[in-house]
Amino acid sequence: MRRLLILTLCAVLAIAASTADAQTKKSEKRRSTVRKSGKKAGKRKSTTKKPKLPLLKTSADKQKFLAIIRDSMPVRRAGSNIRYTPVDLDRSLEYRVGRDRSYAPLIDDERFVRRVHLDLVGRPPSGTEVRKFVADTTSSKRPRLIDQLLTTEAYARKWARYWKNVIFFESTANRNRTNPQALEDWLTGQFTKGASWDAIVAELVSAMPVRDKKKKKDKNDWSQKTGQNNFVLAYENKPPLLAAQTARLFMGISIQCAECHDHPFDRWKREQFHELAAFFSRGKYYMPNLDNPAKKTEMKPKFLLGEEPPVKLTTHQRRVAIAAYLVYNQDNYWFARSFVNRIWNELVGDGFYAVDSLGPDQECLHPSVVNRIAAVFRYRKFDPRWVFRLLLNSRAYQRDIQSIDNDEDLFTAVRPIRLNSAQVKSSVLRLTGANRNISRSVEREFRFDPSIPQRDLEGTVQQALFLMNNPTLQNKLNQSKLKKRLVNVTQPRRLLTQLYLAVLSRQPTDNEFARGQKHLRAIPDRAEAVEDLIWVLVNSTEFLTKR
């Protein structure tokens, strides 16, 4: 199969050149014959122009080129009708985990509607949305809500922001040479129109921004306002950085250690790293000698699995070639599996393996399950929404949260998941109203690397202090519309119901009702009592956690 991809790529790139060679030979033969016969050969001019290899600079050119390779894959056609449902997923997963395990119960409607809103659109539901969903008695309401949210611009924006943060978190590029917001906007547009993941990644990896010195004053000299250019610009258009980050982000493989020496924990060789980096070079690419930096070895582009493109490729063609090897080589199961693992990790708090740390010799939990999901993801033309529908409709996603200490218990429950900065900001601002200072503070204090496993994340003192006593936040909460509305509610039970729905997207329990009513009776000043209750809920662990 690997040979099929190589031969296809060679054929696509060489077809124009071979046609030109044939036409040239015919023309030369014709002119030679005319000269020998003494006829008017000098007056005859060939009207045949030598065709040029495609420059592949536009998105349309790239996608057309990639489509030729994609459609040549027999596995795509053979598997296009394969079905894999949430029921299939749960059966296979529970079989692998063990039927004798203690599985957490499924969550109720209030927790489900909050969880799925945070996961798909990045915000908690309103009290009205919670009440409406709970009141719905139809059995199909959960799948319908998932489908509804997947069609919103908020879904596209939420996941565009996620991938922007993934790409830029480790970036040290000059911010005057990048535009993260342009990348987010472009990704939002792609997810909104339902673009496939292979097309999105191919566009990012094959981008070829060229500096225009005339635009320096406009701060767009690298065309960073063109969103898809910003993956390349985030890593300064440097071949070693692009090789390492392409493998990490889109294959889930950590090969950066192999830049200077053979990988100490995996089978990647130093030569393999630099052969991958050669795809991103503008000209010849050289691997420095470790003992003598002045001595260098020219490296030819070669993909990690050994594929070699035709020798004579332009810079743009090399970038498209590496994108093709990355997304369409059917032997490269890492591409599809990496996406599935990242989404799974975001939704349930654990992946089948640690994000960005897979390799030939690394451990993967329940490989048959993740490989099956990844295979059908490929058969479904890399549709991200298919992955979300599969996972969100499964029992594995809809289980209650529990702390998980042993890998053997993974997927018997959902791990407690900390909200990211965007989710915290959305939760806070819907109580306070829009405020630039609060937004910036939340983004700064609650920011974390999206690639770090949930089990390794911890809250900070600064986060706690911000929610407890930040002057701007406290002032805005005390002057909020929520507080003013609650102060005018005379019935304690109704007041507490509205409070919990507004802050935690659920109704209070009987115990919480009792404690709340006790506090309202103990504090004669209703405004002060409401202020205390809002403060307590905002500073609860539940406010910062996806339950």
Rounded CA Rg of the chain? 28
Task: Give residue-wise pLDDT tens across range 181-202.
Answer: 999 999 999 999 999 999 999 9
DSSP per residue over 465-493, as a string?
A: HHHHH-HHHHHHHHT-HHHHHHHT---HH
In a domain, 371, yes or no: yes
Three-state secondary-structure class, residue 23 = helix
Residue 409: inside a domain = yes
Residues 423, 411, single domain; the answer is no
Clarify whether residues 533 and 430 are in a common domain: yes
For 300, the 3-state DSSP assignment is coil
Is the same domain home to 465 and 502? yes
Listed residues 396, 415, 434: the one ending a domain: 415
Two tokens, residue 61: 């050119």
The total number of structural domains in the chain stands at: 4
* 218-236 tens-digit pLDDT: 778 889 999 999 999 999 9
Tell me, yes or no, whether 393 lies in a domain: yes
pLDDT in tens, 97-143: 998 889 999 999 999 999 999 999 999 999 999 999 999 999 999 99
Exposure string over 208-236, b if 16+ CB within 10 A, otherwise e? bbeeeeeeeeeebbbbbbbbbbbbbbbbe
Residue 239 C-beta-side C-alpha neighbours within 13 Å: 23
Q: Name the DSSP letter for residue 506.
A: S
- What letter represents residue 375's amino acid? A
Residue of higher predicted confidence among 133 and 252: 133
| 281 and 267 housed in the same domain | yes
Calculate the average pLDDT of the chain: 86
H or E segment and range at residue 74: helix 74-78
From the list 511, 509, 501, 510, the residue with the least C-alpha distance to 534 is 501
pLDDT in tens, 267-290: 778 888 888 999 999 888 999 888
Q: Is residue 79 part of a domain?
A: no
Range of the domain at 288: 252-316
With 60 as the cut, is the pLDDT of residue 44 above it?
Answer: no
Residue 306 Cα distances to 92, 247, 301, 447, angstroms: 33, 14, 10, 38
Q: Counting every residue, how long is the chain? A: 547
Q: Which residue, 180, 113, 190, is CA-closest to 155?
A: 190
Question: Do the beta carbons of residue 298 and residue 278 sit within 8 Å?
Answer: no
490 and 445 fall within a common domain: yes
535 and 422, same structural domain? yes
**426 and 534, same domain (yes or no):** yes
The answer to whether residue 539 scores a pLDDT higher than 60 is: yes
What contacts 195, CB < 8 A, 6 or more positions away? none
Place of tokens 């027999």: 74
Predicted pLDDT at 304: 84
Is residue 202 in some structural domain? Answer: no
- Asked if the structure places residue 91 within a domain, the reply is yes
Residues 535 and 426 in one domain: yes
pLDDT of residue 155: 98
Residues 497, 435 within the same domain = yes
Report pLDDT digits (tens) over 70-98: 666 555 555 556 789 999 999 999 999 99
Which tops the pLDDT comparison, 363 or 261?
A: 363
Flag whether pLDDT at 463 surpasses 90. Answer: yes
Q: Give the DSSP H/E element, type plus range, for residue 286.
A: strand 285-288
Q: Are residues 339 and 374 in the same domain?
A: yes
Longest CA–CA separation in the chain, Å: 117
**What own/partner pairs with CB < 8 Å and gap ≥ 24 does 404-409 have?**
404/349, 404/350, 404/455, 407/365, 408/97, 408/98, 408/101, 409/101
| pLDDT category of residue 265 using cuts at 50, 70 and 90 | low
Query: What are the pLDDT digits (tens) for 449-462?
Result: 999 888 888 889 99
Where a domain ends, among 288, 316, 344?
316
Q: What pLDDT, in 10s, does the model give residues 140-157?
A: 999 999 999 999 999 999
pLDDT score of 55 more than 80: no
For 355, the token pair is 């994000």
- Is residue 431 a part of any domain in this protein? yes
Q: Do the domain assignments include residue 534? A: yes
Give, rounded to a whole angstrom, the gap between the first and last alpha carbons of the chain.
45
Q: Quote the CA–CA distance of 495 and 497 in Å, as a whole number.
A: 6
